[in-house]
Chains A and B, each alone.
Chain A
Amino acid sequence: METLLNDFSVGLFFMQALILLIIILLMRKFAWKPILDALQSREDGIQEALDAADSAKLEMQNLNASNEKLLQEARLERDSMLKEAREMKDQMITAAKDEAQVQANSMIEQAKDAIENEKKSAIAELKTQVASLSIEIAEKVVRQELANKDKQMELVESMLGEATLSN
């Protein structure tokens, strides 16, 4: 201990303190600060790049998922559109059918009516013609009968029988 204290040089201590202080200050300014800053910025850069890669990956995944979703939606929409169109077609066909039926029915009805009318008018005409014919016949008969009484009777009878039949 005594030799140690004897060896302790105050001057050297002072010089060392001075030199160490100067070295610390100089090194801080010219070496450590730029070095540590550069290291820090480099590490930050690496970290940032890694983060960016991660986020890009995530975004890619999201994009894929949304694409898938869009596709799904489109497919659904197409399906629904097709279905709608098919329904509409069916509807239109049935509607057309119905309408055609209705029209046909009404045409048939009209035709029936017309036929009936024609028939009636034909019958009526027939009747008038029969009437006029029978009058003519009757005239002729009357003219003949006026000549022959038997024959006149016979004719009237046959005529009447015919008239009953044809009626």
Chain B
Amino acid sequence: MYNLIGAGLIVIGGGIGLGMIGGKAMESIARQPEAAGKIQTAMIIIGALLEGLAFGALILGK
């Protein structure tokens, strides 16, 4: 039971984080379209790190 609550919390946190990363990346691409490639790469890397954290917590907590 607590496991499931924890998993839910992890997913919520990860979702908020990913949303913020994506939103900010979109903003910066809109502001500087010529730097879109670099921003995308950085976004994907940070997203991956966050994802790894979320998955790690999810699997360790399961």
Query: Is A in direct contact with B (CB under 8 Å) within the complex?
Result: yes
Contact residues of A with B, CB < 8 Å? 1, 3-4
Q: Does B38 contact A (CB under 8 A)?
A: no
A33 to B62, CA, bound (A): 44
> B1 within 8 Å of A by Cβ?
no
Task: Name A1's closest neighbour in chain B (CB-CB).
Answer: B60
The minimal Cβ–Cβ distance linking B53 to chain A, given in whole angstroms, is: 16
> Considering the complex of A and B, which 5 residue pairs feature the smallest CB-CB distances, nearest first?
A1-B60, A4-B59, A1-B59, A1-B62, A3-B62
How many angstroms between the C-alpha atoms of A4 and B62 in the bound complex? 10
A4: nearest chain-B partner, CB-CB: B59
Chain A, residue nearest B60 (CB): A1
Q: Chain B's nearest CB lies how many Å from the CB of A2?
A: 9
Could you tell me the distance in whole angstroms from the C-beta of B60 to the nearest C-beta in chain A? 5
Q: Contacts of B59 on A, CB cut-off 8 Å?
A: 1, 4
* CB neighbours of B62 from chain A (8 A): 1, 3
- Listed by A's residue number, 5 A-B pairs whose Cβ atoms lie within 8 Å are A1-B59, A1-B60, A1-B62, A3-B62, A4-B59
